[in-house]
Amino acid sequence: MDVKKVVIIGGGFGGINLAQKLSRNKLFQIVLVDKNNYNFFPPLLYQVATGFLEASNISYPFRKFFQDKSNLRFSLGAFERIFPDEGRVATESGDIYYDYLIFATGTESNYFGMENVRANAVPMKTVQDALALRNHILRLKEVAAKETDSAARRRLLSIVVAGAGPTGVEISGMLAEMHKSIFKKDYPELRKEDVQIYLVDALPVVLNPMSKKSQEETLAELRGLGIEVLLDHAVKDYANGTVTFATGKTIETETLIWTSGVTATALPGLPEEVLGKGKRVMVDAYNRVKGSDNIFAIGDICLMDADKKYPNGHPQLAQVAIQQGRNLAHNLRLWQEGKPPREFRYVDKGTMAIIGVNKAVADLPGLHFKGLIAYFLWMVVHLFSLIRYRNQIKTFYNWMVAFFTRDQSLRFILDAKPEKPAR
């Protein structure tokens, strides 16, 4: 039986699970392509941004991960274009030919056409974004500590988080906790009344995908932390240090953290007719791109309407990508063996969000938890979702230090700036 070449574009949840499972079958030669040389865990980016985890805690190099997999190779370089008629993809590192091609490229921040927001807000999609946000927040604290004008100081210390989904809730809650227990010790020059965190969303609820009970409990906890939650407030502009809303309200701030929306990454070479809502690629029940026999899409980037429970497509969650990656690996083997494939059916394992120390909500199938129990459930699920034991051990250690001390010693400003030439 001929060995088939499988090219996977993107090494996130879906891509890495597909590659890992497929590598056990010697009928396939796999090439994973990614613009980074490492896999990282997006749900914990906000803890890197707030200095509670090192970037290495949530990241792992692909080449080290693939060392013992003889039929799996890694290629560094961003995807550029697909040539379906030739069975070829162009990347920054050169052309790669394929028998099967899988897109697992995920999403990018959606600024809804607001160019000032794109230019001035801080997104939360990559490790670089998280480190940039950490540098930005710490640098503004240093400036504010020397500022004598109260209005200027408030503008430096106010933070607006746009998007009240899990990421927005988690980072605003973490920042509020830090202002209460950490920053007041690090920066005794600053006054508590100068600090204000705003969590804003165009929708009338927080944590829209979760249960009403979780939404109500989360809203109460956020306000209890001193966060000003502004619902039904759509951001319309951000320029010259001013966030402007559709309501006409404005907030003066040097920090707008953007977690408000995502859109699928562009895939030049695919026909426009296979793109659905949010530029997601329309696929059949086997994650096969509609109109194609050997091109697939999994995870956040795809839109499947064949799952009866999710006729409008699956939620853009990690578990969907993981399950689709594993199901596609199984189907590729079945196709190679001349057997009928298995349709994808998503198994909802629940959703959860952390709000602060000992504060969390969890919606599991038929069950709801809040407080300390939900907090530890969140920790366990995220800990065991990390890709390697090394990451799990280091993250667990950092969490335990933070849990018992309410502090962490990772608040470094690490801007990569070129050194001045020697004279």
Q: Which residues are catalytic?
A: 170
Secondary structure element (H or E) that encloses residue 102, with its range = strand 100-103
d(CA 24, CA 324) in angstroms, rounded, equals 17
d(CA 56, CA 94) in angstroms, rounded, equals 28
Token pair for residue 63? 């080449």
SS3 at position 244:
strand
CB atoms within 10 A of CB 312: 11
d(CA 40, CA 61) in angstroms, rounded, equals 9
One-letter-per-residue 3-state SS of 323-336: HHHHHHHHHHHHHH
Angle between helices 371-385 and 389-405 (to 10 degrees): 150
Instruction: Name the one residue in this structure whose structure tokens are 């120390």.
Output: 357
Do residues 237 and 114 make contact, with C-beta atoms less than 8 angstroms apart? yes
299 Rama sector, left if φ>0, alpha if ψ -120 to 50, beta otherwise: left
d(CA 395, CA 399) in angstroms, rounded, equals 6
SS3 at position 195:
coil
d(CA 176, CA 180) in angstroms, rounded, equals 6
